[in-house]
Amino acid sequence: MLAYRHAFHAGNPADVLKHVVLLRCLQLLLAKPKALSFVDTHAGAGSYELAERMSQRLTEYMDGVGRLWQRDDVRAALQDEAPRGAALPPPAVLDYLRAVLAFNADGTLRRAPGSPALAAHLLRASDPMQLFELHPADCRALQALLGSRRHTTVHPGDGFAGLRAVLPPPSRRALVLIDPPYELDADYSRVLSGLREALERFATGVYLVWYPHLQSLASRGLGRRLRALAPAGWLEAQLWTAAPRADGFGLMGSSMFVLNPPFGLDEALRAAGPWLAEALGRDGAGRFVLDAHLP
């Protein structure tokens, strides 16, 4: 049942979009001094060694963060060596790459930090984290990585079921990432029901839902159904990187759907998205779409 292992996919184009949006949301929310809780319903192992067998087998990161890492403009910007007046990657992308660099101190890309590691990197020591992971091995890795962080709980179990129990957080400020594998069709409906319940308990939270763009009906309908749920405002960033395959399989792109997006996210992604589409699109398939309904 638990066939999905994120190590195969860590650092791929979908992860890049997810983590660029996640980090910018965190940065915007951390501008206020009041405590911010981070909840990751599908946290994964926390961080991934790219040289390990599982990552190497598919080397998806070479189409994602690896591809960005090899660009001259990225290398120059990360080393603070960009010539005066040279075009730099957009700020939200650069901030993401700087965060990745913090896990790869000598500049060689060996490790892809996952959402829990990236969040821990940005959060203040007093900001709580609630991390859920169902796969026992990934949960053990996550516990080893972040279990000793203060105000952090690693929950070995179902993140959809656990979400309602950690809402609302004491500070009444939270960023919730919902990032299931969608290997089971039930994940699509559980995202919607989980979100509906979460909003009943805590309507003002910032919720980030990642979902894949596949040719299946379930995938094609999720964006519309998420929009119908959003009470106050939403934003959806779509990054398309591959053309549809004749066999009907394969990932064409992905979306980050943000409920109650923080002020400033819209503008940051309008700058970052087209650059990412250009940098990560394969065979001319790169495309970025940003839809928003903001109060």
Ligand X SMILES: C[S@@+](CC[C@H](N)C(=O)[O-])C[C@H]1O[C@@H](n2cnc3c(N)ncnc32)[C@H](O)[C@@H]1O
Q: Helix, strand, or coil here: 258?
A: strand
Distance CA 106, CA 31 (A): 29
Give least dist CB 271 to ligand X, A: 22
CA dihedral 157, 259, 190, 35 (to 10 degrees): 20
Cβ atoms of 115 and 179 closer than 8 Å: yes
Give least dist CB 183 to ligand X, A: 8
CB atoms within 10 A of CB 113: 25
Distance CA 158, CA 132 (A): 7
Nearer to ligand X, 181 or 233 (CB): 181
Give the pairing of strands 152-156 and 129-133.
parallel
Helices (H), 79-185: 91-101, 115-122, 136-146, 159-163
Active site residue 179: yes
Give least dist CB 10 to ligand X, A: 7
Nearer to ligand X, 41 or 77 (CB): 41
Give least dist CB 184 to ligand X, A: 8
Distance CA 137, CA 215 (A): 31
Cβ atoms of 11 and 69 closer than 8 Å: no
CB contact set of 160 (below 8 Å; sequence gap of 6+): 41, 180, 190, 191, 193, 194
The residue annotated as part of the active site, out of 106, 179, 247, 283, is: 179
Residue nearest to ligand X (CB): 114
φ and ψ at 181, to 5 degrees?
-75, -20
Instruction: Name beta bridge partners: 131.
Output: 40, 154
Nearer to ligand X, 79 or 189 (CB): 189
Nearer to ligand X, 90 or 162 (CB): 162
19: alpha, beta or left, given left = phi > 0 and alpha = psi -120 to 50? Answer: alpha
**Could you list the residues that contact ligand X (CB under 6 A)?**
2, 4, 6, 18, 40, 42-44, 114-115, 132-135, 138, 158-160, 179-181
Give least dist CB 80 to ligand X, A: 28
Nearer to ligand X, 136 or 231 (CB): 136
Nearer to ligand X, 60 or 133 (CB): 133
Give least dist CB 91 to ligand X, A: 21
Please give the positions annotated as active site.
179
